[in-house]
Amino acid sequence: MTPPARAPSAGRPKVGKGWFVVFTLAWLAIWTVQLTPVQLLLPGQLNTPGAADTWVRGVVYSGIVLGVGGVAGVIAGPLSGALSDRTRTPWGRRRPWAVGGSLLTALCLVLTGLAQTPLWIGVAWTGVSIGIAVASAAFTAMIADQLPETQRGAAAAAASSSQAVGIVLGVGAVVLLGLTVLAGYLTLAAFTAIVGTAAALLLPDPAPDAALSARCAGGFGWESLRDRDFGWVVSGRFVTNVGNALPTTLFLFFLMYGLGQPQPEAEDNLLLVIVVYTVFVVIASVLSGWWSDRTGARRTLTVGSAIVQALAAIVIVIRPSLTTTMVAAALLGLGYGAFSTVGLAFATDLLPHADDNARDLGLVNTAAALGQLVGPLVGALLVGLVGGFWLLLIVSAVFSVGGGLMSGRARERVHPASPRPDPAAR
């Protein structure tokens, strides 16, 4: 059976620094408005202090709300990506979806802030998840549409490092400025409406090649997962992101109920933990993206970084304290920063259909986002089962290693920057 043709990128000119600046801002907006509520605002809304067991109920509510939003994102990401591949307007094919997704996210953030019950918080947050999935699919497709393979690691590093910076920016603004929950949501809504829309308008959106425009595979792209290498990368990305989300999305609850800190102290320490995490995510993202572009060694870095992520959970299990939590945050940042960056570049190299970049990268984004949003649901069940966090951390390590090994099943392409030697020349 002849494998499907990969998305061609040879001969594409390199983009300049301006492209990377605007692309980074786009992802900064996406990650800030997605992860600030996950880390701080949603737990604050859904926390139910009082009797000894009510905090567990708050964890469960958080898990359900994020899990339902994740399911919505699974549908919205590939579907909007497939429609984006077929969109032909005077404003481009990616730009309308990036703008629409940013504005939908902003509207639903306002509604989430106004909601008063877990049900309506969940409904509004589902809208946020859909908007983020739509915008993410459009922006990610630009990597495959416009960049040669030797710049894809750098673009993935921009997206990954923006994730860590976005957490600090959002949580820092809420904590340091003393914003209420509603004010926090309104601030995030304004941020994504302005920055996300501006980035979509400023980034180029060239028309697709006429040969590619003539045919599109259609559908959600599940057939792309039957491609051996692409399927392993996508599934490994999902599993590793579950391993990452199990501890990170419940950090505030862990500080309050795992380490017994009062909520104001826990919120201040959460910011410190996130700063440590961010520094190491940025370092790992930049270095791993540069090295993978230089050598083409995507697979080895992807597997190794997932194993480093697993070590973070083991550190806390062995000795739970604020100090070990900081150490774990550093390891988690190193592992996840490198995995997220190189894994995205690896998946972009392995796209099965050149005419369905947005659809298939929508699957890649959805795998990561679903892992981040299903993780809290699994974590909530594990915390509820044992009334503590030790089982959650062990499962996090298992998922991290498992996802890395799954990604390692994909076969690496020959990188144009590092051709393999000809055996006959020896």
Contacts of 120 (CB under 8 A, 6+ apart): none
Tens-place pLDDT, residues 388-400:
888 999 999 999 9
What distance in Å separates the CA atoms of residue 220 and residue 297, rounded to the nearest whole number?
30
pLDDT score for 120: 92
Overall size of the chain counted in residues: 426
For residues 90-108, one letter each, b for 16 or more C-beta atoms within 10 angstroms of the residue's C-beta and e for the rest, the string is: eebbbbbbbbbbbbbbbbb
pLDDT score for 48: 63
pLDDT score for 224: 72
pLDDT score for 222: 59
pLDDT tens series, the chain, 426 aa: 344 444 444 556 788 889 999 999 999 999 999 988 987 888 878 876 554 556 667 777 777 887 788 788 878 888 888 888 888 888 888 999 999 999 999 999 999 999 988 889 999 999 999 999 899 989 988 888 888 878 888 888 888 778 778 878 888 888 888 889 999 999 999 999 999 999 999 999 887 655 444 444 445 455 677 788 888 999 999 999 999 888 877 777 788 888 888 888 888 888 888 889 888 988 998 899 888 888 888 889 999 999 999 999 999 989 888 999 999 999 999 999 999 889 888 988 888 776 677 777 777 877 887 787 678 778 878 888 888 888 999 999 999 999 999 999 988 765 444 444 343 433
Tens-place pLDDT, residues 148-206:
878 888 888 888 778 778 878 888 888 888 889 999 999 999 999 999 999 999 999 88
Show the domains of the chain with their CATH numbers.
Answer: 17-205+220-414 (1.20.1250.20)
Cβ proximity of 179 and 104 under 8 Å: no
pLDDT score for 153: 83
pLDDT score for 425: 39
For 250, half-sphere exposure in the C-beta direction (CA atoms, 13 angstrom radius) is: 39
pLDDT score for 1: 38
What distance in Å separates the CA atoms of residue 327 and residue 238, rounded to the nearest whole number?
25
φ, ψ (nearest 5 deg) of residue 416: -65, -25
* Of residues 98, 128, 97, 99, the one with CA closest to residue 111: 128
Q: Which two tokens stand for residue 309?
A: 């992520």
Place of tokens 């550093």: 330
φ, ψ (nearest 5 deg) of residue 205: -140, 75
